[in-house]
Structure 1
Amino acid sequence: MDNGNSVTTKLLTLLNVSATKIGKRKRTYEDHFVPSSKLNKRKSASFAIADEPVQSEGVEDANQGGKPDVDVDMDPVTVEGGKKDVEGDENATEGFEKHFGNDPAILTEASRTTVDSRSWKITNEKLGSLGSAKVSKVESSEATASSLPSPDILDRLKVPLKDRQAKSSPQITQLQNELLSVLSTRRDLYSTHTPLETRQSAREAIALHALNHVTKKRRRILKNNERLAHASKSSPDKLPEDVQDQGFTRPSVLILLPFRSSAMNWFHALTSHTPSPSYQVENQSRFLSEYGLPAGAVDKLATAEQGVYPPDHVDTFRGNVDDNFRIGVKMTRKSVKMFTEFYSCDVVLASPLGLRRSIDKEKHADYLSSIEILIIDQMETLTMQNWDHVKFVLSHVNQLPKESHDTDFSRIKSWYLDGHASYLRQTIALTAYETPETRALYNSLTNISGKIRTEKIYPPAPVPEGINQALVHFDCTSPQDEPDKRFHHFTTQVLPALLKSAVQSTNTIVFIPSSFDFIRVHNWFRQQSGVEFTILSEYSTNQEISRARQAFFKGTKSFLLVSERFHFYKRYKIRGIRNLVFYAPPSYPQFFTEYLSYPFLDDGVEGSDVTCKVLYSKFDWLKLERIVGTEAGLELIKGV
């Protein structure tokens, strides 16, 4: 069965199930309904048993006091033959309707074939403060990224932004405006080098774009509700048919994040566009309590003196770093409602682990079926967690739902019914650096409006002078064979040379980026007789860490195997190093700089006393350019 027939079969099944339900009612956008009492049911206790995944956060607070959860404070709307829309935002809605309307002209068989076959037309363009970028588009695309439109933000939402920008630096204002212009093209954006100093400003701009999207979608639905109500009174036999304005379920924005502290950052970004007293934030105290640090806890990163911990480490791990969470957020004209039940919310803030546990328990992810904007922040951190969780969640986005959830199928946009939602979904991905996993995710995107990947020319990573650095290349023609080829070269060429040297066979650290490689190398060392070694991994206890560091510093252990995840999570400074071997280039360029600086923690160490070897193949390009620089990296790769 081909894909089209499969989609039709699933859709007919949904329709049949929906039609056979007794007492079936059609869902309108402002209806309050709870399709599943199990999904997102809040536990009475604050903490779940380790083997029991935490469920819905917020069903109790979604409908306080028994009041119906109806958006009575929504935007005024235009009724056919009635008054003009009070805000007069027709121009600001044009781009939204062209891309997310019921029958977008860009959604053709030819455009779908182009993105499915990855036959993009790729150009190099300059995007202002966002820098250089590779812009991929189908041949029929109209505007280029160089001719970016003005941000199509609704007038009501512009005011808080302009007020804050008046107090910001011109650089921040320019960045946010240019970012909003790029996002207004509805192209996917893959920002490959998000600086720490502009990260929150970028989040605020993206949050505004998401809020703008939710508001426009909501206003279109309410407008059609009014049209239908008006027509049913005046001409019951001639109801308008062009009212397809919804997806299968309400949530239209999904934000994937690594930690609860990240959700806190996005909460502040979203609410920065909904200032008091005009807006109310419902359940704010509960959110701050559950997503902040527990009462009485002290954040050592926030209270430490400047310079004790690297800035990127402080930014990543400050606050609540629990990685199992999910929360629904409902946005109305005058309120932000936290802990809203998933099928009644507009925005889902979640970690990949949190969503995976929910999907595994409920056996479906219907609330992800109608996502129109997907935001993935701190992708570099997600790769240090478990990237399989990310892939699992994304495999469930924009899939046909398994249940009807009281959906009014007469209001669903045609491209949802055709199974083409992924061709129109806009993905916004932010990372501090690229990895093969994040690049593969970008390559898999199928937005027919196109996609943008920013680029950066990296300078060489700074290292102390005088250190003898050797880049050791090994031949490999296939990425599938690369792990075996690397291990073979390391165990037959690199290590024997180290063991033969009286100087390099002691005080030697082996830094291993991949967890799979770390386990493999660790097992190999265990099988060698006469080689004294110890390890530091992300699973090492505090006692094991202390014992390993002391043994290595005193010289009772000649080799110390360190996993990259250990350094990512702990960031310990290690003394006693004289020789460094990087099993592969580190993901973070600052890790390379830090480890080459650690020998100089000891007194009397000169650069000539330290050696460094980096094992690499042509498949390490993304990592290699960050430590040797883009230009030198190109020469190295061309030379092999």
Structure 2
Amino acid sequence: MSDDGNTPTTRLLTLLNVSAGKSLKRKQTFDAQPPSRKLNTRSTSSTTAASAVGLQEIVTKIPLTRESEKDLPEEDNAGEESGSEGGHDSAEDAEDPYDRHFGAKPVHLTTAARDTVDNRRWNSSTSSYRKLGSLFVSLPFESSLEPSKDSLSGILQRWRTPFLERRTTLPVDVRELQDDILSALSSYRDLYHTQTTFDKAQCTREVVSLHALNHVSKKRRRVLKNNERLSHAIKNKSILPEDVQDQGFTRPAVLILMPFRSSALKWLDALMSHMLPPTFQIENLSRFRKEFGLPEGTIDKLATADAGTYPLDHVEMFKGNIDDSFRVGIKATKKSLRLFSEFYGSDVILASPLGLRISIEKEKNFDFLSSIEIMVIDQTDALTMQNWQHVQFVMSHLNQLPKESHNTDFSRIKPWYLDGHAAYLRQSIVLTAYETPETRHLYNHLLKNVTGKARTIRRCAPVQVPEGLELNFVSFDCSSAKDEPEKRFTYFTTQMLPAILKSAVQSSNTAIFIPSSLDFIRVQNHFRKQELSFAVLSEYSSNQDISRARQAFFNGKKAFLLISERFHFYRRYRIRGIRNLVFYGPPDHAIFYTELLSFPFLDQEVEPSDVTCRVLFSQYDWFRMERIAGTKEASQLIRQTAV
């Protein structure tokens, strides 16, 4: 019985009623299964050998689980996952972080913990790591737990050995970073890593993928081990074991979200790094590389360009296939990865938020997300430059009760799934180069792991700008985040822009950088209404439009140039002719601030005194201001604004 008084049986009957209307669509419908088998909760201790005989005929017709011998390759049922590896018995399993967190009776899943999480009454402290730095740890319970010293203590031997062998060639700082991340993940707490640099991104993916593969292997090992126990009990006409709740509603357990197809290739490489030939095989690998790489005959201008032609972070972000609509299932067996497996037969799903949303809306089904136990969001900073609503859409469909049964053996489902508490146990791993209000909101409000969560703490130094350049930070009063866009627009149009137009120097050769796409459209409409001379560079501009706008601005035919942050994110053009810079808001990418301030000096004989710069900000621009002005200076500026 669950903590809130709702029994798993009540949840189960509700689910059966919902799915009954669609049961005729399946070859083997749920209603066709003998109720005595499906509704058996194994709660009666007086089960006799005779009852086992009566069930034997049923069991021969119904798979013991979705991961039965019929469903898996032969090698998937041999030895390792059935319990031979590591020799874990029930006592050892009780100390395994996997069983403590995802077992039938999770240690921390209590009514008090759920209430604490829902009301955000976390107990917070800091923990120190070597390369991760300080973590701000939030727990729904009082604890003095220290980070695990042995980062590989919970990793199965099949993954640990090749991982250790491969690490011998890595630099010390990379090994320490990987140890820190594994240590933070080993307790199954959520991790919000806010300073994932592109040079450390792949080694981070490798340890996160190791954690995910280890999780999938342990889950399957429990399932196959219980299959053997049930088969053995039936064969020997003995009492059926009761402690076999070992699965969710559907098979997919790991979801990895990313922005581009090229990112999916990097994640596949990370997964494959733990599967050394000839022990492991990758099925459909050539098809994956064909569909997720560049089309045949295409030349990647970013990858082939001379060093320095494009910023290094831009090359790392956009080289390869940058299509943002895709989803693919991966089935992990004992000796292989099967790519392009059907979603309901997959262990891992790689997808972009857009691709997953299109799939859900087209099929009108998202049951494959009902049992996700580990969710990874990679390159979250890039996802905020796409459409954050797609991420929110996916998050809203995670760990919901399914609409259909999908031939599930409900006697094997963990009770907390039936109680609808899966979201309180899902481990979320969010990797980003920097924080935004959207990502912090996700961390604060959508991550509800009762084992706790942690985010990295960073202190920023001011970015480098051309020496001698005068920077003016202009604040405006705003006491409500809801009113902030309107207050910003009003201040800009009534205070800042009129002052610029009155100045003979600033009323021409002025570039206005606008972070928000909505603000960009609003300012553009205002300029058009005021019949000002301006050109536009947005993410929707064609190559011809871009060339025309840049030339008109450089030649002085257009006095103002409106630049959206998304345009600069995707294009990274060097723009000449700028003498005055106005930041309608601080950029999300601190490096954009440095780049734009360097553009005036692309032209010859330009002195710092010839250039003006204004940055419009409010107290709600804290994350952006911290990255460009530095933590200490930004604190002072924001404090003055809030007074």
* 2:455 equivalent in structure 1: 453
Offset at 1:88? 3.0
* 1:587 equivalent in structure 2: 588
Inter-CA distance 242–10: structure 2 relative to 1 (3 Å threshold): closer
* 2:360 equivalent in structure 1: 359
Offset at 1:4? 8.0
* 1:548 equivalent in structure 2: 549
Inter-CA distance 196–128: structure 2 relative to 1 (3 Å threshold): same
Between the aligned partners of 2:237 and 2:6, the Cα distance in structure 1 is 37
C-alpha offsets along residues 481-518 of structure 1, whole Å, 9 cap, x if unaligned?
Answer: 00000000000111011000000000000000000000
* 1:402 equivalent in structure 2: 403
* 2:32 equivalent in structure 1: 23
Between the aligned partners of 2:135 and 2:609, the Cα distance in structure 1 is 41
Offset at 1:132? 1.4
SS in structure 2 of the partner of residue 73 of structure 1: helix
* 2:183 equivalent in structure 1: 181
* 1:607-618 equivalences in 2 (<5 Å): 607-618=608-619
* 2:75 equivalent in structure 1: 73
TM-score normalised by structure 2 residue count: 0.90
* 2:47 equivalent in structure 1: none
Offset at 1:30? 2.3
Between the aligned partners of 1:540 and 1:340, the Cα distance in structure 2 is 38
* 2:308 equivalent in structure 1: 307
Alignment partner of 1:518 is 2:499: no
* 2:200 equivalent in structure 1: 198
Between the aligned partners of 1:406 and 1:471, the Cα distance in structure 2 is 62
Alignment partner of 1:114 is 2:123: no
C-alpha offsets along residues 142-196 of structure 1, whole Å, 9 cap, x if unaligned?
Answer: 6234867654101110122112101111111111112111100110000001011
Alignment partner of 1:287 is 2:288: yes
SS in structure 1 of the partner of residue 72 of structure 2: coil
Inter-CA distance 110–77: structure 2 relative to 1 (3 Å threshold): farther
* 2:626 equivalent in structure 1: 625
- Output the amino acid matched with 1:369: S
Indicate if the aligned counterparts of 1:507 and 1:555 stay in contact, CA closer than 8 A.
yes
SS in structure 2 of the partner of residue 74 of structure 1: helix
Inter-CA distance 420–543: structure 2 relative to 1 (3 Å threshold): same
Inter-CA distance 459–86: structure 2 relative to 1 (3 Å threshold): closer
Indicate if the aligned counterparts of 1:89 and 1:154 stay in contact, CA closer than 8 A.
no
Across the two proteins, how many residue pairs are aligned to each other?
599
Between the aligned partners of 1:9 and 1:475, the Cα distance in structure 2 is 53
* 2:50 equivalent in structure 1: none
Between the aligned partners of 1:367 and 1:106, the Cα distance in structure 2 is 25
Between the aligned partners of 1:22 and 1:475, the Cα distance in structure 2 is 63
* 2:87 equivalent in structure 1: 88
Indicate if the aligned counterparts of 2:377 and 2:430 stay in contact, CA closer than 8 A.
yes
* 1:477 equivalent in structure 2: 479
* 2:273 equivalent in structure 1: 272
Q: Which runs of 5+ in 1 are unaligned?
A: 33-67
Which one of the candidate residues 232, 235, 253 is aligned to 1:233?
235
Between the aligned partners of 1:260 and 1:509, the Cα distance in structure 2 is 33
* 2:51 equivalent in structure 1: none
* 1:318 equivalent in structure 2: 319
* 2:438 equivalent in structure 1: 437
Offset at 1:207? 0.2
Offset at 1:78? 8.6
Offset at 1:6? 12
* 1:466 equivalent in structure 2: 468
Q: Percent same amino acid at aligned positions? A: 58
Offset at 1:10? 6.1
* 1:59 equivalent in structure 2: none
Between the aligned partners of 2:226 and 2:419, the Cα distance in structure 1 is 22
Offset at 1:137? 0.6
Alignment partner of 1:502 is 2:504: yes
Which one of the candidate residues 201, 214, 217 is aligned to 1:215?
217
- Output the amino acid matched with 2:141: E
Offset at 1:120? 0.3
Inter-CA distance 352–263: structure 2 relative to 1 (3 Å threshold): same
Alignment partner of 1:171 is 2:173: yes
SS in structure 1 of the partner of residue 32 of structure 2: coil
- Output the amino acid matched with 2:462: P
Offset at 1:639? 1.7
- Output the amino acid matched with 2:199: E
Between the aligned partners of 1:571 and 1:157, the Cα distance in structure 2 is 41
Between the aligned partners of 1:29 and 1:23, the Cα distance in structure 2 is 17
Inter-CA distance 539–84: structure 2 relative to 1 (3 Å threshold): closer
Indicate if the aligned counterparts of 1:366 and 1:400 stay in contact, CA closer than 8 A.
yes
Indicate if the aligned counterparts of 2:190 and 2:427 stay in contact, CA closer than 8 A.
yes
CA RMSD of aligned residues (A): 2.1
* 1:36 equivalent in structure 2: none
Offset at 1:126? 1.3
Offset at 1:417? 0.4
Indicate if the aligned counterparts of 2:181 and 2:207 stay in contact, CA closer than 8 A.
yes
Between the aligned partners of 1:119 and 1:74, the Cα distance in structure 2 is 44
Offset at 1:69? 4.6
Indicate if the aligned counterparts of 1:135 and 1:145 stay in contact, CA closer than 8 A.
no
Between the aligned partners of 1:11 and 1:390, the Cα distance in structure 2 is 30
Inter-CA distance 459–507: structure 2 relative to 1 (3 Å threshold): same
Offset at 1:455? 1.4
* 2:416 equivalent in structure 1: 415
Offset at 1:75? 6.0
108-117 or 85-94, larger mean C-alpha shift: 85-94
Q: Which runs of 5+ in 2 are unaligned?
A: 24-28, 34-61
* 1:54 equivalent in structure 2: none
SS in structure 2 of the partner of residue 493 of structure 1: helix
- Output the amino acid matched with 1:600: F
TM-score normalised by structure 1 residue count: 0.90
